[in-house]
Amino acid sequence: MDVEADLETDCVIEPGARTLIPTGFALSIPPGFEMQVRPRSGLAVTYGVTIINSPGTIDSDYRGEIRVILINLGREPFEVVRGQRIAQLVFAPVVRADFQLHITLSRSDRGEGGFGSTGI
């Protein structure tokens, strides 16, 4: 779902700056789920505006207002106005891992190969 800015007054995000934008609502997310906050592709490609911690996660025990951290990676100031669509929200299940400590790990074809080790 798209989410809109709920601003008292319009705001301008200067190039390189980030701003916390209110949405005006809160949610009760069921246990075992999260809400992911994702950028809108139109803002990204047209203005260079995105979400700095994308995808952002809103946990099921959070009860405050949903707010979005926008960053302007573009070259021009970007104006955010009330009612403007600023992000997308996606509900997703959360899988809980059971971590176990091991001194050595099992082998794999990739081994310790890092960035770029599987080809471009």
Is 89 inside any structural domain? yes
Total tally of structural domains belonging to the chain? 1
Q: What is the pLDDT of residue 23?
A: 97
CATH of residue 48: 2.70.40.10
Is 50 inside any structural domain? yes
Is 88 inside any structural domain? yes
Helix residue spans in 15-59 (DSSP H): 41-47
Q: Which domain holds residue 71?
A: 2-93
Tell me, yes or no, if the pTM score tops 0.75: yes
Rounded CA gap, 83 and 6, in Å? 6
CA distances from 95 to 28, 35, 61 (A): 19, 13, 16
Is 23 inside any structural domain? yes
For residue range 66-90, list pLDDT tens digits in order. Answer: 999 999 999 999 999 999 999 999 9
Average pLDDT over residues 2-18: 97
